[in-house]
Amino acid sequence: GFASPLTGIADASQSSMHNALHIYMNGTMSQVQGSANDPIFLLHHAFVDSIFEQWLRRHHPLQEVYPEANAPIGHNRESYMVPFIPLYRNGDFFISSRDLGYDYSNLQESEWDIFQDYIKPYLEQASRIWPWLIGAAVVGFALTAVLGVLTSLLCRRRKKHRLHEEKQPLLMGKEDYHSLLYQTHL
């Protein structure tokens, strides 16, 4: 678990805390061959399972992430878990604890987490189509601008050719007043 996948040599910075607890507990817990027989073994490794569960929930990996080859002997995805009967493959248990029928109280999701899980597929789909949406917006803006300019030019052209009575001036110049006769009905 704590060895480098390339060299097979344990990384002391990662394994020392785990191994120190095995030694600290003493008894069968400190012996590699018999540590699984110690009742505290399950509690110790259940916390490791909790950390693994946190990682699964955070990253949602596909089963293909579990190595199919080149893992230590017996640890490939298609290898059988020993000594469990009935036989199960390692990859069969690369799933969330909820799928196995249990959950951790410190990992239970809030309403916000449930909402994020619900909306995540939609956000992923939107992230795949956003270049098309931006392209459509740019093309739509360009077409709207061209149509606006053409409409404006067409309206100006029509205004030049039409003279309407309602567009005659309301006030007249001084020269025009001499020819008007005002009559009253008194």
- Position 149 scores a pLDDT of 95
Burial label, 165 (beta-carbon count in 10 A; 0-12, 13-18, 19+): exposed
pLDDT in tens, 160-171: 666 566 666 666
Same domain, 66 and 148: no
- Position 171 scores a pLDDT of 65
- Position 139 scores a pLDDT of 96
The answer to whether 57 and 107 have CB atoms below 8 angstroms apart is yes
Same domain, 24 and 47: yes
Q: What is the DSSP code (8-state) at residue 3? A: B
Closest CA to 44 of 70, 22, 66: 22
Same domain, 82 and 97: yes
pTM of the model: 0.41
Same domain, 21 and 86: yes
- Position 3 scores a pLDDT of 64
Rounded to whole angstroms, how far apart are CA atoms 143 and 134?
Answer: 14
Same domain, 22 and 92: yes
Residue for token pair 């009742």 = 39
Residue 127 lies in a domain: yes
> What is the average pLDDT value for the chain, to the nearest integer?
80
Same domain, 59 and 24: yes
Same domain, 118 and 87: no
Radius of gyration of the chain (CA): 40
Same domain, 93 and 16: yes
Last residue within a domain, chosen from 107, 122, 141: 107
End-to-end CA distance of the chain: 116
Closest CA to 68 of 79, 59, 56, 54: 79
- Position 183 scores a pLDDT of 61
pLDDT in tens, 72-122: 888 889 998 776 678 888 888 888 888 888 888 888 776 777 787 788 888
Rounded to whole angstroms, how far apart are CA atoms 91 and 74?
Answer: 11
Structural domains of the chain, count:
2
- For range 29-37, the mean pLDDT: 83
Same domain, 57 and 142: no
Same domain, 62 and 133: no
Same domain, 84 and 44: yes
Using the predicted structure, report yes or no on whether residue 154 has a pLDDT greater than 60.
Answer: yes
pLDDT bin (cut points 50, 70, 90) of residue 16 is: confident
- Alpha helix (H) residue ranges in the chain: 12-25, 39-59, 97-100, 111-161, 174-177
Q: Which domain holds residue 42?
A: 12-107
